[in-house]
């Protein structure tokens, strides 16, 4: 039975996250996994199980989510499969690539690394006068906002201490149910990408629940002057969630890519 690897993008604003949710005695919630599964089942005329690599939260976006499914009958040529699925999807989710993978490919267990970005407007730069401190109506669903101007240089100094292998329990939503809270962060950067607009990028072997949003929140506290950049190692060593910054809003977060190091090849 052939197994398919899909690269999926979606605007998470109107989804209750990635994972399918069917509360007892209630209508299923609208999720990216649920919508995608229904579209594929409708196309192939068979029930399928679509598994995703990352369980993004409600309001979180994706450019490079990876999903996989196996199907008994798929008469659609591989090169046309994205178009065929997309014709059955709403406009806020899209399959951008499809390929065949080995039968045992697991999008979660075989993941080698993944990357998230976070967009944040800060201060008054780049905001038209009529906005009066409110989120820009044209990017409010994709970009978080901070009314205070942030010290970019201080945040950039702080990012260096957030890389490496460590117990990142301080940056995990409590209580964390994973077997271990040790993770490896390969890169952590923050850069100005426009007037009053910042982009944070974090890549690693994997992340704890809300980890990236808390890392960004901690960097924002550095940018505000509430924390010194030199405090980051101590915050990590404490394994104490209360020592780190706020959990930033979901809408600024986007899953950019997931790499498998060849584990997804036939």
Active site residues: 57
Distance CA 240, CA 230 (A): 17
| DSSP collapsed to 3 states, 88-139 | CCCCCEEEEEEEEECCCCCCCCCCCEEEEEEEEEECCCCCCHHHCCCCCCCC
Q: What is the DSSP string of 4-43?
A: EEEEEEE-GGGSS-SS----TTSPPP--HHHHHHHHHHHH
Distance CA 251, CA 176 (A): 22
Q: Strand, helix or coil at 205?
A: coil
Strand partners, 70: 3
The alpha-carbon radius of gyration of the chain (Å, integer) is 20
Q: Angle of helix 211-224 relative to helix 152-159, nearest 10 degrees?
A: 140
Of 113, 94, 56, nearest to 254 (Cα)?
A: 56
State the residue for tokens 């979606």.
10
Buried residues in 114-148 as b, exposed as e (16+ CB within 10 A): bbbbbbbbbeeeebeeeeeeebbeeeebbbbbbee
State the residue for tokens 């910054």.
245
Strand partners, 139: none
């Amino acid at each position: 039975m052939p197994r398919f690897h899909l690269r999926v993008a979606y605007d998470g604003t109107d989804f209750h996250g990635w994972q399918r949710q069917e509360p007892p005695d209630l209508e299923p919630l609208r999720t990216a996994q649920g919508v995608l599964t229904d579209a594929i089942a409708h196309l192939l005329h068979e029930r399928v199980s679509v598994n995703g690599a990352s369980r993004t939260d409600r309001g979180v976006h994706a450019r490079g989510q990876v999903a996989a499914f196996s199907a008994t009958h798929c008469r659609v040529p591989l090169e046309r499969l994205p178009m065929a699925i997309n014709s059955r999807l709403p406009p806020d989710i899209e399959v951008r690539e499809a390929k065949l993978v080995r039968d045992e490919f697991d999008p979660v267990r075989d993941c080698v690394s993944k990357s998230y970005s976070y967009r944040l407007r800060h201060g008054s730069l780049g905001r038209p006068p009529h906005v009066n401190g409110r989120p820009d109506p044209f990017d409010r669903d994709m970009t978080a906002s901070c009314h205070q101007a942030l010290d970019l240089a201080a945040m950039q100094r702080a990012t260096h201490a957030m890389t490496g292998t460590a117990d990142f329990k301080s940056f995990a939503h409590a209580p964390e149910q994973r077997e271990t809270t040790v993770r490896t962060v390969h890169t952590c950067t923050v850069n100005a990408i426009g007037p009053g607009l910042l982009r944070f990028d974090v890549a690693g072997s994997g992340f704890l629940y809300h980890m990236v949003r808390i890392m960004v929140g901690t960097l924002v506290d550095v940018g505000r002057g509430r924390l010194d950049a030199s405090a980051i190692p101590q915050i990590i060593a404490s394994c104490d969630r209360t020592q780190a910054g706020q959990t930033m809003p979901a809408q600024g977060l986007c899953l950019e890519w997931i790499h498998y190091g060849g584990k997804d090849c036939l």
